Structure 1
Amino acid sequence: MKAAYIDQTGPPEIIQIGDVPKPKIDPGQVLVRVHAASVNPIDTYIRSGVVAADLPKPFIIGSDFAGVIEEVGEEVVNLPVGMRVWGSNQGLLGRQGTFAEYVAVDADLVYPTPGNVADDTAAAVALVGITAHLGLVREAKLQEGETLFINGGSGGVGSMVVQMAKAIGARVITTAGTEEKAEMCRSYGADLVLNYKTDDVPTAVKEFCSWGVDVWWETLREPDFDRAIDLLAPRGRMLVMAGRDARPEFPVGPFYVKECRLMGFVMFKAPAAEQQKAGMNINQWLASGKLKVPIGATFPLDQAAAAHTLQEDNTLRAAGTLQGKIVIEVASGEQPEEYQALLS
């Protein structure tokens, strides 16, 4: 089968496109014919070696997928051949990835795709959607009527957090760096959108909710804990999910006097049952139109290196050239004209 893979870690240019053996499924697994995959920052960290991992050789890159079940292993129920499905968590913890025509997946990490949801949407929502759900529901236990703040509400995870928080019934404050991104945040339902380049964010937040923010979702690699804790409400909760090498200062006194809580989590370490709960809620919100998934760029499989470059430009170098997720069309080999410039 055709796949995008690496033999060693390094820059995007080491990604190869070629034939690798079609996977065989074990009991409890299904074989999925992949129609679409998507790119996440963690995919680039693993490929580059920034995140050390024991990888098979060759190693197929990619975490997210959407496609159709072609084979069902023993002990699998309620996932018949021909069912459209989506999921994440591949390419991690020794598993092969999803940038391939086929992927063997544990059945408890597979979710049925709603009939009115396209494969590219299902692939794009996978990791970021489950991440947002785990943070809001399992960790922060966000409640209806509470106020949430998130930096960057137009990004991959940010857009999911804004929309899920609104689906739960919370008020949402978020930031954006351009008017175009701010308008995207408003379209997701954000109650207050601030331009972090021109607005006085702390003053505006205090005017909007004088008591303080109940949940602060931090997406920045170097959080400003002084600002965040000053804006948190008593017993406020703060989530961190980025900045593996970050060592910012932390105001211990104000934090404990307010009786606040700080939580960090990693999506792919969540038990399958917790991810299943997230997947089912995501399906309901997708099917009802409460959750929209922004797709900022689409590439064919044979341009996986360009897709990784675009992700790194925005994650590591703050290029600001991406609004939404990057999707890989595995079943299509046509190169979108709008991205030819990236390959020149």
Structure 2
Amino acid sequence: MRAAYINEPGPVENIAVGELPDPKPGPGQVLVRVTYAAVNPIDTYVRSGAVAMELPSPYVVGCDLAGVVEEAGAGVDDLPPGTRVWGSNQGLLGRQGTFSELVAVDRHWLYQIPNGVSDEQAAATALVGITAALGLFEEAKLQPGERLVVHGGGGAVGSTVIQMAVAHGAKVLAVTGGPEKCAACEALGAEVTVDYLHEDANHVAASIAAWAAEGVNVWWETSRTPQLELAIGALARRGRMIVMAGRDARPELPIGPFYAKCCRLLGFVMFLCEPEVQVRAAAKVNELLAAGKLQTPVAKVASLDETAALHDLQHNSTVLGKQPLRGKLLVKF
């Protein structure tokens, strides 16, 4: 099979595209013929060595996939050949990745693609969809009618959070950068948008306070450098703040207003959540995809040979803050 892989962590130039032996499904595994694979920031961190993990050698890059079941291993009887599936959590914690024509995946990381949903959308939504569902429903326990601020609503995770929260009956304010992203967040269902690029922090805080006079129930932070003073100041009594990025961040926590309002700070890493929890999150993703209430923008669809270029684009956007992406980066097989 053809695959994009590395022999050791390092720069994008370490990514090679070539032939590797076809994997065989072991007990409890499923062999999937990949149709689409998606790039995520974590892929670039693992490939570069910024996030150290045990890696097989050679190591196939990539976390997300959509495809068709080729063969089921012993003990798997509910995904016959020909079944369309999607999944995430590959290429992590010693597992091979998804940027290959074939991949052997543990059954519990795969979910059937609903009728009417494209493989492209399933792959694009995989990691961001599961992340949004975990944070909103498993961690924050978001309730219909509650007020949610998405700080970074124009990004891949933020835009997914907006759609899921709106579909759940919550009210959403999105903080994002630039009029184009503000318009996109409004189109996804945000009641109010605030442009942080053209307003100072005081204006952002005042806009949130005007929208939520009694405070915000949930604050979803996507930034790698969270503004805790702004967030904690905006939270209502018993407000919850979600953090899922910024592993090197060391911001100061304003303890006074945080404890006085009985707030909670909830951090989580998607790929460390148990499979049974992720099954619930994937079910929510499927429900919304099938109902047409969740759509993930795609910025570029490329060939496997362009994997290194896609990693470079993702790095420039996520880490360097240059060339902001307007959607997910995919490889089509």
Cα distance in structure 1, aligned partners of 2:137 and 2:318: 25
Using the size of structure 1 for normalisation, the TM-score is 0.94
CA contact (8 A) 1:154 1:324 kept: no
Q: Which amino acid aligns with 1:135?
A: G
Cα distance in structure 2, aligned partners of 1:212 and 1:28: 48
Q: Following TM superposition, by how much is the alpha carbon of 1:236 offset from its aligned partner in structure 2, in angstroms?
A: 0.2
Q: Following TM superposition, by how much is the alpha carbon of 1:85 offset from its aligned partner in structure 2, in angstroms?
A: 0.5
State the Cα deviation string for residues 8-44 of structure 1 (Å, max 9, x = none). 1111111000111111111111100000000100000
Cα distance in structure 2, aligned partners of 1:298 and 1:155: 18
* Residue 295 of structure 1 pairs with residue 298 of structure 2: yes
Structure 1 window deviating more from structure 2 (300-309 vs 107-116): it is: 107-116
Alignment-derived partner of residue 215 in structure 1 = 218
CA contact (8 A) 1:297 1:322 kept: no
Alignment-derived partner of residue 237 in structure 1 = 240
SS for the counterpart of 2:286 is: helix
The 5-angstrom pairing of residues 39-118 of structure 1 reads 39-118=39-118
CA contact (8 A) 1:38 1:328 kept: yes
SS for the counterpart of 2:71 is: strand
Using the size of structure 2 for normalisation, the TM-score is 0.98
Cα distance in structure 1, aligned partners of 2:307 and 2:14: 10
SS for the counterpart of 2:30 is: strand
SS for the counterpart of 2:105 is: strand
Cα 1:320–1:211 change in 2 (3 A) is farther
The RMSD of aligned alpha carbons is 0.9
Cα distance in structure 2, aligned partners of 1:153 and 1:81: 39
* Residue 251 of structure 1 pairs with residue 257 of structure 2: no
SS for the counterpart of 2:238 is: strand
Q: Which amino acid aligns with 1:150?
A: V
CA contact (8 A) 2:178 2:198 kept: no
Q: Following TM superposition, by how much is the alpha carbon of 1:320 offset from its aligned partner in structure 2, in angstroms?
A: 3.9
Q: Which amino acid aligns with 2:291?
A: S
Alignment-derived partner of residue 153 in structure 1 = 153
Alignment-derived partner of residue 21 in structure 2 = 21
**Which of the residues 264, 267, 276 maps onto 1:264?**
267
SS for the counterpart of 1:97 is: coil
Alignment-derived partner of residue 7 in structure 1 = 7
State the Cα deviation string for residues 177-201 of structure 1 (Å, max 9, x = none). 1222111111111111111112321
Cα 1:320–1:148 change in 2 (3 A) is farther
SS for the counterpart of 2:35 is: strand
CA contact (8 A) 2:313 2:323 kept: no
* Residue 206 of structure 1 pairs with residue 189 of structure 2: no
CA contact (8 A) 2:39 2:64 kept: yes
> What percent of counterpart residues are identical?
54
How many equivalent pairs are there? 330
CA contact (8 A) 1:62 1:98 kept: yes
Unaligned runs of 5+ in 1: 332-344
Q: Which amino acid aligns with 2:139?
A: E
Q: Which amino acid aligns with 2:99?
A: F
State the Cα deviation string for residues 169-226 of structure 1 (Å, max 9, x = none). 1000112212221111111111111111123211111001111110001111111111
Q: Which amino acid aligns with 2:204?
A: V
Cα distance in structure 2, aligned partners of 1:48 and 1:33: 26
Cα distance in structure 2, aligned partners of 1:294 and 1:132: 15
Q: Which amino acid aligns with 1:169?
A: G
Cα distance in structure 1, aligned partners of 2:291 and 2:229: 39
Q: Following TM superposition, by how much is the alpha carbon of 1:77 offset from its aligned partner in structure 2, in angstroms?
A: 2.5
Cα distance in structure 1, aligned partners of 2:298 and 2:116: 17
Cα distance in structure 2, aligned partners of 1:111 and 1:77: 14
CA contact (8 A) 1:147 1:213 kept: yes
* Residue 313 of structure 1 pairs with residue 310 of structure 2: no
State the Cα deviation string for residues 73-101 of structure 1 (Å, max 9, x = none). 11113211101100000000100000000
Alignment-derived partner of residue 339 in structure 1 = none
Cα distance in structure 2, aligned partners of 1:154 and 1:226: 21
* Residue 304 of structure 1 pairs with residue 307 of structure 2: yes
Q: Following TM superposition, by how much is the alpha carbon of 1:69 offset from its aligned partner in structure 2, in angstroms?
A: 0.1
Cα distance in structure 2, aligned partners of 1:130 and 1:173: 21
